[in-house]
Chain A
Amino acid sequence: MNTMRPNMSGYGIISYAAYLPRHRLQRAELGATLGISAGRGARVAASFDEDSTTMGVEAARSVLPGRPAPQSLYFATTSPAYLDKTNASALHAALRLPRDAFAADVAGSARSGIAALRAASLAGGLAVLSDVRTGRPGSGDERDGTDGAAAFLFGDAGASVAEVLAEASVTSEFLDRWRAPGNPVGEQWEERFGLERYVPLIKDTGRRALKAADAGQADHVVLVSPNSAVRKRATTFFPARLSASGSPVGHAGAADAGLALADALDRAGPGETILLLSAVDGCDAVLLRTTERLAGARQPEPVARQLAGGRDVPYATYLTWRGWLDREPPRRPEPERPAGPPSARGEGWKFSLTGSRCDRCAFVHLPPSRVCKECGAVDAMTAVPLAGARGTVATFTVDRLAHSPSPPLVDAVVDFDGGGRCTLEIADGASDELVVGTRVEPVFRRLYTAGGVHNYFWKARTTAETGTGETGADRSQT
């Protein structure tokens, strides 16, 4: 099968964002623990309470504010939190998308990322690419994989930061990377076999995309692939005027093409072309051209800066999070699974942290309440979504007795700017950074899984943003 066409959809990327989890696994520690050579640097690791759904929410939250809500959502991953149940519907709820919006998973292989981008680009929708990549202890997937997500909102090409000039694809059936359903880790054939198959496919699609757009040479060339031999040669296939690169973070499954594109958009100037190549069971080429609107609409925190941050997670903790190390739990009962009907009735609260504000006295209730705690008014409430709000820690504690997938559990009483208080878990293990007065922001996480049901809800994460115009950098100097 062989396709090539200039893009005629009339839609372009109007905003984009990547999300890289905060934790870093140092390869030197991994190597020392296993007695192997694991190289230098660190891999990005999702926390125990993150999965493809929560990371997807995190990336998508950044692209929506101030823009028309998309009517479709395509969620790509190789690590779906659920099968049989649509994961995109949890994103739909967390993002408060219109009720009549379409939301579907594009799950399976790393190629699903391109599929979601293509579907969203044709419909003016939202593409969310997200993955947790894991492997057996000591494997290349564990060492060189990355967890993360990227989101792209497509809209009117006339308002875009980048438009799609051309796409080209080729499909080829051969055994390079695969995983049987139920198997936690993937397999791969000898990587040089895949390399030999991929080289002509990459060259063919790249050339055709460039030719279709009469582009000659691209300003930026980005190539991603689950095949590590292809990744090593990522910069060698096509010359580029300004930059040629591979994945900015290590293979991220279905999110890989998205993270690479987000990184390219971070770096590109206006009116520059980006040739995105994704070699997965064939190859897909997408040729984009940035617009003069890019400079004013870049994601808040570039991929490179997200990558540079982070805090280390001990290898033993990482192995526990991924289920490779079965550690003694506290002597407390397992939590109950969340029940279906209450979760459905409380969708606004559970999935989008939406409370209620009294129409009469403005007291904010978290969770929403029918009766006002301040003035007693009944059924006179307006929904108040707080997922994008900032708050301040009123008091907090470290609970060493509580059942948690990664003890100890840290809880804080959070007072939101503009009203409202609730008690939330603190995400990303930052208890050492907490004081009364610490600034926090809500993040969508998976509290635990019980009875095969994931308990999604919001936690609070420390944020450098102080809400008083003071920046994190300012504070560190005082």
Chain B
Amino acid sequence: MSSNGIRDRVAVVGMGCTRFGEHWDRSADDLLLDATQECFAATPALLAEEVDAYWLGTLGSGQSGMTLSRPLSLDYKPVTRVENYCATGSEAFRNACYAVASGAYDRVMAVGVEKLKDSGFSGLLRGDPPGDGTAPELSLTAPAAFSLLDPAYCTRYGVDPAAMREAMTHIAWKNHANGARNPKAQFRSAVSKEKIERAPLVAGRLGIFDCSGVSDGAACALIVRAEDAHRYTDRPMYVKGLSLVAGPARGAMDPGYDYTTFPEVVRSAADAYRQAGVTDPRTQISLAEVHDCFTPTELVLMEDLGFADRGQAWKDVLDGAFELGGRLPVNPDGGLKSFGHPVGASGLRMLYECWLQFRAEAGERQLAGPGLSLTHNLGGRPGGCVSFVSVVGPELG
């Protein structure tokens, strides 16, 4: 795979993010306005009318660019609506960055929104085109699809299912503890390991605390040319690498695939690392926001992103390697698990945590001077998915 990358060519100079959660009193229009207003209010040097173009990510809370231009009453601006499953927010960001890097625009905004709690149903809904009724995705829910990782991982690496359960519990416990320190998180309370393990089952061995929060929310980022960044803020966030791959969905029909890895994540991470000049992610990455849609996902991601050796992540998890005070803090903001997962907004929410951490505005969960940071956003399921990895940093070079 070849990509030229746009290392240090664009910068984020402003961000906004609503609280994630069950916003019964807020529409998608409200959430879009709330997030963008917050962003512009915090970036007084860049006026809303100066934004040249917008990229809007939403899975299903609207169609077309008018989902954004109408509620914000934009003045005949270009708005591109993108969708890429649960990596939709990251995809809006990626394309917005490329628009600036290409020279087509100087100031753009990436926005992501999802209004999930108006449907009246549990979990995510699908909006599939008419089909023949045979696709397993039509019936098998997301928690069930990701629960396949658990027995497969135990079998492949000979891990005692009880130890695996402990590792999954530890991930849920950690992300709840982190979310408890985050005023914008959906779930703001620490949860005991006993409570996590006693929760009602959803699919396979996954209980409700192994699943991310279903929520409403919006987030956004203002992106400019790197050389212009200091006109708008004294602490810009620079883009070092952006990679997205859409898998051929081979694993779902390949007996050689063993459900202990996401080949799409491995590929996108390698690409992003190369663009960013990262050769040893374990030492060079100081913070990672990853797609912890379900607890076994985060565990497998530690290996796919190169943070742990194959078959060893469960031990590293139990050793506390990825806690706030660990060797590589993962999901310090609470992750999808506890911050919540309004699909189109999640990728931008991950970047929002990097943004806050770089600016030392992360409050109770502030890390000490983080350098290169990673966001990882995944859409689909084991056997076939899209995967996005970004590397961002607080400084040029």
Contact = CB atoms under 8 A, between A and B. Distances in A.
A405 B119 CA distance: 21
A441 interface: no
Interface in A450-471: 455, 457
A376 B253 CA distance: 15
Contacts of A337: 133
B134 A367 contact: yes
Contacts of B136: 411, 422-425
A155 B204 CA distance: 49
Interface in B241-260: 248, 250, 252-255, 257-259
Interface stretch (A94-102, A169-177, A412-420): A412-420
B248 A339 contact: no
Counting chain A residues whose Cβ lies within 8 A of the other chain, the interface size class is: 35 or more
Interface stretch (A104-112, A144-152, A250-258, A394-402): A394-402
Contacts of B141: 332, 399, 401-402
Contacts of B74: none
A346 B259 CA distance: 27
Interface string B138-157: 11110111011001100100
A400 B29 CA distance: 33
Interface in A303-352: 330-333, 335-339, 341-343, 345-346, 349-350
A27 interface: no
B255 A415 contact: yes
Interface size grouping (class) on chain B: 35 or more
A342 B130 contact: yes
B364 interface: no
A330 B122 contact: yes
A415 B134 CA distance: 17
A196 B394 CA distance: 96
Contact of B139 (A342, A366, A403): A403
A338 B152 CA distance: 32
B268 to A, nearest CB: 19
B397 interface: no
Which secondary structure characterizes the binding site on chain A?
Answer: mixed
A423 B253 CA distance: 8
Contacts of B147: 397
B252 A422 contact: yes
A264 to B, nearest CB: 39
Interface in A425-468: 425, 436, 447, 455, 457
A197 interface: no
Nearest to A404: B139
B259 to A, nearest CB: 5
B203 interface: yes
Given A330-B122, A336-B128, A413-B148, A400 B202 contact: yes
A364 B250 CA distance: 11
Contact of A395 (B120, B131, B139, B259): B259
Given A400-B201, A425-B139, A436-B155, A342 B144 contact: no
A298 interface: no
A335 B138 contact: yes
B253 A422 contact: yes
B123 interface: yes
Nearest to A335: B138
A389 to B, nearest CB: 13
A457 B259 contact: no
Contact of B143 (A338, A363, A401, A421): A401
A333 B60 CA distance: 15
A194 to B, nearest CB: 43
B203 A447 contact: no
Contacts of A367: 134
Interface in A364-415: 364-367, 373, 394-404, 409, 411, 413, 415
A296 B257 CA distance: 42
Contacts of B128: 336
Nearest to B119: A333
B254 A398 contact: no
A404 B141 CA distance: 11
B140 A342 contact: no
Given A330-B122, A413-B259, A397 B144 contact: yes
A100 B113 CA distance: 54
B132 A349 contact: yes
B134 A398 contact: no
A457 B139 contact: no
Contacts of B132: 338-339, 342-343, 345-346, 349-350
A395 B151 CA distance: 7
Contacts of B122: 330-332, 401
Contact of A346 (B134, B143, B155, B254): B134
Nearest to B258: A394
B121 interface: yes
Contacts of B130: 336, 339, 341-342
Nearest to A457: B134
Contact of B250 (A373, A397, A422): A373
A364 B139 CA distance: 23
A419 B133 contact: no
11 contacts: A331-B122, A336-B130, A338-B132, A346-B134, A350-B133, A365-B253, A395-B152, A398-B203, A402-B141, A411-B139, A422-B253
> What are the 7 tightest A-B residue pairs by CB atom distance, in nearest-first order?
A338-B133, A339-B130, A399-B144, A423-B136, A455-B133, A397-B204, A415-B255
Interface of B: 119-123, 125, 128, 130-134, 136, 138-141, 143-145, 147-148, 151-152, 155, 201-204, 248, 250, 252-255, 257-259, 383
Interface of A: 330-333, 335-339, 341-343, 345-346, 349-350, 363-367, 373, 394-404, 409, 411, 413, 415, 419-425, 436, 447, 455, 457
Given A333-B121, A395-B148, 11 more contacts: A331-B120, A332-B122, A349-B134, A373-B248, A398-B204, A399-B139, A399-B140, A400-B203, A409-B139, A413-B383, A436-B155
